[in-house]
Amino acid sequence: MSSPVRIDATEWQRRFLDLAPETRREPRYLRHLGEREWAHYLKPPSSYLPYGFRRLRRMRFDGDVRALRLFSFAMEETERLFRAKQEGLPVVALMGDYGAVAPLLGAFPGVVTFYPDFCYFTPFLAESDVLLDRAERLGIGEDTCYVRAAAGAFAARANWPDPDLVVVSTGASCDDLAATAQAAHDLGHPTLFLDIPCRKDPAPWLRVTRFEPADGRPPVEAGLVDRLVAQYREFLARAGEVLGQRSDEVALAASVSRARRMRRTIREIRGHLASAPAAPLPAYEAMLAEFAATHGFGDPDECEAVLAGVRDLVAERAAAGVGVLPPDAARVVWATPPPDPLLFTLLEDAGGRVAGSEYLIASALTLPPDEPDPVVAVARAFLAGSLLGSSAARAKSVVAEVRRANAEGVVISNLFGSSHCGAETPVIRRAVEEECGLPVLSFDVPRPAPGGVASQVKNRVEAFVEALTQRRRTCGRP
Amino acid sequence: MREAMTPLERFALLFMDERPDRLITAPFVTTAAAAFAGVSPGACCRDGALLARAQIAAQEALRHDAFFVFSDVAIVAEAMGSVLRFAEDRVPLLDVPVVREARDVDGLPLPGPDRGRFPVYLEAVRILHETRGDRVPVFCLVPAPFTTAAGLRGAEDFLVDTIADPPLAEALVLAAERATVPLLDAIVLAGGLPALVDPLASASVAAPKTYRALALPGTRRLVERLHRLDLDVLLHVCGEITPILEDLAATGADLLSFDRAGVAEVRDAVGDRMRLAGNVSPVTILSRRAEEVLEETRRAIREGMGAPRGFVLSTGCEVPPGSPPENLAAFYRAAAAAGGVP
Amino acid sequence: MTALAGLRAAADGREGALRAGIARGREVVGLPVPLAPPPEIVEAAGAIPFRLLAAGDADAELRALAALGRDACGTCRGLLGAAMVAHPPVTCLAAGTACDRMRRMLEAFGSTGLPVFTVAVPRVRGISGQRKALAQELRLFAGELSVRTGVPATPERLAAAIRRGNAARRILREADGLRRLVPPRATGTEYFDLVRAHGLLPVEDFLALAAAVPGELAAREPPSPDPVRVLLTGPTLLDGRRDALAILEAGGRAVAVADVTDSGTLASGEDVPEDGDPFLGLATHLLAHPVLAAPLRPSRAFRERFAGTLRASGAEGVLFRGVPFCRPFNSEVPALRLLSTVPFLEIREEGAAASGQTRTRIEAFVEMLLARRLSGGPP
């Protein structure tokens, strides 16, 4: 196997146009609808440039078609949603919950889910203020994290069709998202709210019965599971009323099994990313793979195939000892998903590699335990959520990830205005420095602007990688 | 509180068979844009930065929904060796065609994106994309192979060839097609949406069977190539198109921009397969009274709004430079009254 | 000295008394969030409730900045900063997770070495079983606190505390009603002084000192014959951010005749049900009178309360005093503006002391409302 490389949009376009037609046309979404011309979604990054995604011109991508399939599948979500709606499929927006509601909605076959929250990335991919300015006019301004872009998208109705239902999970999630979701609700969409309970894991003054989840995630108070299960049951009944369908228990069980399979695949991918001598996948595609765990990008069947392809790709590369980055790339754990994917390109160009991550979606990466009742399984997995617990608990997760990935440093991309970043970052930094003795780089992700990342952030990322490399010379390889 | 969509969002929805928030209004303000920036049309044809500046100035003044990067239909032929005559007050015209005789075809170069005035187009596209590309689509109008072939040979000689020497005509069109491909690819990478214009292929100039035999195959292949990238393709044909409507649909283009045909007629014939853009006459805008512009625009909207796959209010061809401001205003007034440009 | 002045003095001198109590082994529970957990539980468990107030000074807020980030709201920074700087006379803390920042702030409080009990409060309205779940959470808190104090918070003790709490609420409501009269018989400042004392003093002391206040206020001449009537809203009027209120009422030209804040009438609210399970009663009260009004989603009930209060108060203007980064309240501003049938002024300023610009804006707002009245605008 020849050494794979990261390539830019120009090179991908050239390679793509030479692909065999059957390779180009094989990936198809919403397959169960039968052949639809619009359902063939594989395309290179350059195809998105004329539609406003300007950042893609500055980024680098994995050059393998299996990784491109993942990229296209994620990028095509907007059209997939509109097409699904045109085909009469119910479209449900999920907000603030990562990994529980989507598998639950599998109880209603045909429902297509999406996360408006992921609009968080859009202003950066487009290098655009449009969505953020709209959010500001709705009263959600600069002092809110970039998730506010979703409010701007709701207001113009161009990023997704009017959802048949909006499911908002608030409570132990961020305040920014709750405000954004309220703005969406104010636009008149049918909305069901869920109250996410908080874990009180490190409270010094609390004695309750706990159980240990199978995968080593933070312990959870037993009462929370029951409350969440009751809430989910009620939710399914109310969602059924709104969608005009009865909850199908067999379909629900199948949906949860599928979520488990997908998460297992993602774990395998993450395992290779952490252990392979050379990075078997660039950080951007790796992040997309992780985010697929939340809802399978609205088409879990196709998503399974996409992820399997990526899993095979990284396994092959790991077995062959080749990667998309040099084997001596500095290994970092990245905490909090950067809304600007160009930051990954910067890190990788500077000689770094994301070997582990904590992207606030632990609830979506946790395997639902084997339970006779799929709702209980979902609730238990969900309670591992990154935002449900304390800052200290999240710091513990980052430390565990550092150890798992044998990392040499941690990068934290803060979101100015976010209700949790400001409190979490010092706690994470302290934990990493004290428990692992590793350096931490944290910075606020600057507002999107044409032309690339602000030079100050660029310099800091490059200097950090340089420092890690220097440190390795003095301290030895990890 | 609802927010207005951007022009880019409107076009994106149109191409997904969705209804945007309002009537898309995209007249071909191309050469006429120069006046809005206070520069000459001729200068815009040679300077990408000026061309972009003119487009931005016109769009900011008129608030229509698209940029059109365009100078003339000989740009590909020029890059292959034809010589154009430039002037400050107008677009360049073909002066010396590169193909004088049949054997010249074999020696035609395959121009890269750095040849001729391709860099002018690409610079304009890049600037527009970098500065406004998150909200306004950047269409870059490229001559289709049949029209470029006329630029390689001279329009009259080429039309004679189509009858007297079909193999030569076909060779010219094929050469033109090959030369167009790198430009299309480069436009996409610069952030533009390539659009094909084929004025020489209309039924006003060429017989329908000529279109079918010579123009359609190359255009279809270019559309297919752009579709390979999943791009939405605008095809513009000036002049009479009624006899070739089915052929135009057969190109696979996604958005048909047309000139001399009734909107209702085109809508009924191919509106189920293509989105439509049209078609207020540039002649009306240039030389008739404002009331007539108003009436013609209203009629286009009335008939176009029923198009099953969507409709873009546009002009039948370029808005002529020097069009009376009150006539342009009448066009936009009618658009605004129908929920178009504010 | 008037009864109100006596009450103010008692509240101001409260810290010394508490420190003495702690020295005698009493448990004092600092409550940074109004009503969550209810002070009645603290009393029933034999401890002393003490409302923690934001520091109200920039230095204290700066101290908290490192722990909470520069984009934390001033209320949270002020509360944590106060704890870090002034070392309040408390032996432990208990607070509701009213918003995400508040939850993070409570965790940061742990770094002061004080035990912190986090009460998970609902953030969504209308979830089945949430009343029972909240009652259970309150029971858990009562049990934990009882372990610390050695005094079981029995239903009987709690029921008695609830009765006393309701008596205090009646005093607050009476005073609240006085400022709504035409002309107002009490000012917003006076009302908020009562609320402050209610948070700081043991309920017996409050009842003893405050009982005479409404009568005294009603009996005197109205403080101002025909002031502009203003509705106050925003998150933090009590917590060291009385600046807007002070400027508004300076010179007697305007009176805050009503408020929709988390520390004013919403905090006092109506009576806690006195029959049945007292924990369920407290849970019912909390859900009906949310701890922080805006974060309970959807926001409809908060907005209805705002619109209803605006109508009932006859306010001629609305003054929103917010702080940057208070997401739950700030994001409600557009909706409140839409609901306002009268002029709406939004002040969103960092720090506890109003800037000159804010002073000018509030003064101009009052001028404008007066001019509007003269020009025949709606009263």
- Taking the CA atoms of residue C168, residue C173, residue C174 and residue C177 in that order, the dihedral angle to the nearest 10 degrees is 170
What region does A360 belong to: left with phi over 0, alpha with psi -120 to 50, or beta? left
Q: What is the pLDDT of residue A410?
A: 98
Residues 6+ apart with CB under 8 A from A271: none
| C352 has a pLDDT exceeding 80 | no
Task: Take residue C114 and report the two structure tokens written for it.
Answer: 């004080």
Rounded alpha-carbon distances, angstroms, from residue A47 to A57, A75, B230, C7, C130: 10, 11, 7, 72, 49
Report residue B278: phi and psi, to 5°: 180, -170
Position A214 confidence tier, pLDDT thresholds 50, 70, 90: very low
Q: Would you call C49 helix, strand, or coil by DSSP? A: strand
Task: Take residue B264 and report the two structure tokens written for it.
Answer: 């209702």
- The rounded distance, in Å, linking the Cα atoms of A321 and C148 is 59
Q: Which chains touch A (3 or more CB pairs under 8 A)?
A: B, C
- Taking the CA atoms of residue A200, residue A204, residue A210 and residue A215 in that order, the dihedral angle to the nearest 10 degrees is 70
| A477 has a pLDDT exceeding 70 | no
Position C268 confidence tier, pLDDT thresholds 50, 70, 90: low
Q: What is the pLDDT of residue C71?
A: 87
Residues B88, B92, B98, B102, CA torsion sign: negative
What region does B232 belong to: left with phi over 0, alpha with psi -120 to 50, or beta? beta
Question: With pLDDT > 90 as the criterion, what percentage of chain A qualifies?
Answer: 81
Domain that holds residue A216: 6-475
What region does A296 belong to: left with phi over 0, alpha with psi -120 to 50, or beta? left
| C62 has a pLDDT exceeding 90 | no
> pTM for this structure?
0.94
CA A337 to mean position of chain CA atoms: 7
Choosing among A24, A30, A51, A130, which should be mutated to test the B contact, i.e. which has the most B CBs within 10 A?
A: A51
- The rounded distance, in Å, linking the Cα atoms of A218 and B35 is 67
Q: Do A204 and C115 touch (CB under 8 A)?
A: yes
Where are the extended beta strands (E) located within A315-393? Answer: 330-335, 352-358
| Nearest-neighbour CA in chain A from B12: distance (Å) | 7
- The rounded distance, in Å, linking the Cα atoms of A83 and A79 is 6
B129 vs A contacts (CB less than 8 Å): 49-50, 54
- The rounded distance, in Å, linking the Cα atoms of A166 and A164 is 7
Q: Would you call C96 helix, strand, or coil by DSSP? A: strand
Report ipTM for this prediction.
0.96
Q: Do C117 and A206 touch (CB under 8 A)?
A: yes
Into how many domains does chain A fold? 1
Q: Mean pLDDT over residues B29-56, rounded?
A: 97
| B145 has a pLDDT exceeding 90 | yes
Position C302 confidence tier, pLDDT thresholds 50, 70, 90: confident
C139 vs A contacts (CB less than 8 Å): none
Residues 6+ apart with CB under 8 A from C3: C209, C210, C211, C212, C213, C216
Q: Which chains touch C (3 or more CB pairs under 8 A)?
A: A
CA angle, corner B99, sides to B94 and B104, nearest 5? Answer: 160
Task: Take residue C323 and report the two structure tokens written for it.
Answer: 């702080």
Interface of B with A in 190-229 (CB under 8 A): 190-193, 225, 228-229
Mean pLDDT of chain A: 92
Q: What is the pLDDT of residue A212?
A: 41
Mean pLDDT of chain C: 89
Q: What is the pLDDT of residue B137?
A: 98
Q: Do A195 and C97 touch (CB under 8 A)?
A: no
Interface of A with B in 338-377 (CB under 8 A): none
Give the nearest partner residue to C331 out of A182, A231, A421, using CB atoms.
A182
Position C64 confidence tier, pLDDT thresholds 50, 70, 90: confident
Which of C273, C43, C277 has the alpha carbon at shortest distance from C157?
C43
Q: Do B1 and A158 touch (CB under 8 A)?
A: no
Which residue of chain B comes nearest to A12, CA vs CA? B189
Which residue of chain C comes nearest to A419, CA vs CA? C101
Chain pair A-C, CB pairs under 8 angstroms: 145
Q: What is the pLDDT of residues A25-41, one digit of tens each?
A: 999 999 999 999 999 99
* A332 in a structural domain: yes
| A13 has a pLDDT exceeding 80 | yes
* A147 in a structural domain: yes
Which of C285, C268, C303, C124 has the alpha carbon at shortest distance from C194?
C268
Q: What is the pLDDT of residue B128?
A: 98
A422 vs C contacts (CB less than 8 Å): 68-72, 104
Q: What is the pLDDT of residue A1?
A: 66
* A1 in a structural domain: no
Give the nearest partner residue to A178 out of C92, C297, C334, using CB atoms.
C297
Report residue B305: phi and psi, to 5°: -65, -20
Q: Do A200 and C107 touch (CB under 8 A)?
A: no
| C288 has a pLDDT exceeding 90 | no
Class of B7-99+107-337 per CATH?
Answer: alpha beta
Evaluate whether A364 touches A98 at the Cβ level (below 8 Å).
Answer: yes
Q: Would you call B293 helix, strand, or coil by DSSP? A: helix
| Nearest-neighbour CA in chain A from B54: distance (Å) | 20
Greater model confidence, C268 or C259: C259
| Nearest-neighbour CA in chain C from A332: distance (Å) | 24
| Nearest-neighbour CA in chain A from B42: distance (Å) | 27
A13 vs B contacts (CB less than 8 Å): 185, 188-189, 229
- The rounded distance, in Å, linking the Cα atoms of C61 and B342 is 48
Position A204 confidence tier, pLDDT thresholds 50, 70, 90: very low
Q: Which residue has the tokens 């279109």?
A: B211
Q: Does B12 touch chain A (CB under 8 A)?
A: yes
Alpha helix (H) ranges present in chain C? 3-12, 14-23, 39-44, 58-68, 74-86, 100-109, 130-149, 155-180, 188-200, 203-210, 213-219, 243-249, 265-268, 278-288, 300-313, 327-330, 333-339, 356-374
Give the nearest partner residue to B134 out of A14, A41, A126, using CB atoms.
A126
Chain pair A-B, CB pairs under 8 angstroms: 107
Position C379 confidence tier, pLDDT thresholds 50, 70, 90: very low
Give the nearest partner residue to A417 out of C66, C71, C92, using CB atoms.
C71
Q: What is the pLDDT of residues A228-253, one digit of tens each?
A: 999 999 999 999 999 999 999 999 99
CA angle, corner B101, sides to B100 and B104, nearest 5? Answer: 90
Rounded alpha-carbon distances, angstroms, from residue B226 to B195, C237, C240: 10, 61, 64
Q: Mean pLDDT over residues A267-283, rounded?
A: 97
Entry field: residues in chain A: 478
* A371 in a structural domain: yes
Q: Mean pLDDT over residues A381-407, rounded?
A: 92
B18 vs A contacts (CB less than 8 Å): 82, 86, 161
Task: Take residue C69 and report the two structure tokens written for it.
Answer: 């980030």
Alpha helix (H) ranges present in A218-299? 222-243, 249-275, 283-295
Q: How many CB atoms lie within 10 A of CB B156?
A: 9
Tell me the DSSP string of B165-208.
Answer: -HHHHHHHHHHHHHHHHHHHHHHHHHT-EEEEE-GGGSTTTS-H
A230 vs C contacts (CB less than 8 Å): 128-129
Q: Which chains touch B (3 or more CB pairs under 8 A)?
A: A
Mean pLDDT of chain B: 96
| C264 has a pLDDT exceeding 90 | no
Which of B294, B252, B259, B289 has the alpha carbon at shortest distance from B273?
B252
Evaluate whether A57 touches A9 at the Cβ level (below 8 Å).
Answer: yes
Interface of A with B in 35-64 (CB under 8 A): 38, 40-41, 43-44, 46-47, 49-52, 54, 57
Q: What is the pLDDT of residues A54-112, one digit of tens each?
A: 999 999 999 999 999 999 999 999 999 999 999 999 999 999 999 999 999 999 999 99
- The rounded distance, in Å, linking the Cα atoms of A385 and A255 is 20
| C96 has a pLDDT exceeding 90 | no
* A455 in a structural domain: yes
Evaluate whether B312 touches B273 at the Cβ level (below 8 Å).
Answer: no
Q: Do A82 and B16 touch (CB under 8 A)?
A: yes
CA angle, corner C188, sides to C184 and C194, nearest 5? Answer: 110
Instruction: List chain B domain ranges.
Output: 7-99+107-337
Q: What is the pLDDT of residues C141-154, one digit of tens each?
A: 999 899 889 999 99
CA C155 to mean position of chain CA atoms: 26
| DSSP-assigned letter for residue C355 | P
Q: What is the pLDDT of residue C295?
A: 66
A143 vs C contacts (CB less than 8 Å): 71, 324-325, 327, 330
| Nearest-neighbour CA in chain A from B138: distance (Å) | 7
- The rounded distance, in Å, linking the Cα atoms of A38 and A257 is 29
Q: Which residue has the tokens 């029971």?
A: C139
Q: How many CB atoms lie within 10 A of CB A430?
A: 13
- Of A39-43, C249-253, C345-349, the least confident: C345-349
Task: Take residue C160 and report the two structure tokens written for it.
Answer: 């008695």
Greater model confidence, A462 or B2: A462
Which residue of chain A comes nearest to C67, CA vs CA? A423
- The rounded distance, in Å, linking the Cα atoms of C176 and C191 is 6
Choosing among A146, A185, A199, A205, which should be mutated to test the C contact, i.e. which has the most C CBs within 10 A?
A: A205
Position C54 confidence tier, pLDDT thresholds 50, 70, 90: confident
Q: Does A138 touch chain B (CB under 8 A)?
A: yes
- The rounded distance, in Å, linking the Cα atoms of C21 and C80 is 23
Q: Do A52 and B133 touch (CB under 8 A)?
A: yes
Q: Would you call A320 helix, strand, or coil by DSSP? A: helix
Q: Do B134 and A127 touch (CB under 8 A)?
A: yes
Q: Does B131 touch chain A (CB under 8 A)?
A: yes
Q: What is the pLDDT of residues B245-285, one digit of tens each?
A: 999 999 999 999 999 899 999 999 999 999 999 999 999 99
Position C237 confidence tier, pLDDT thresholds 50, 70, 90: low
* A22 in a structural domain: yes
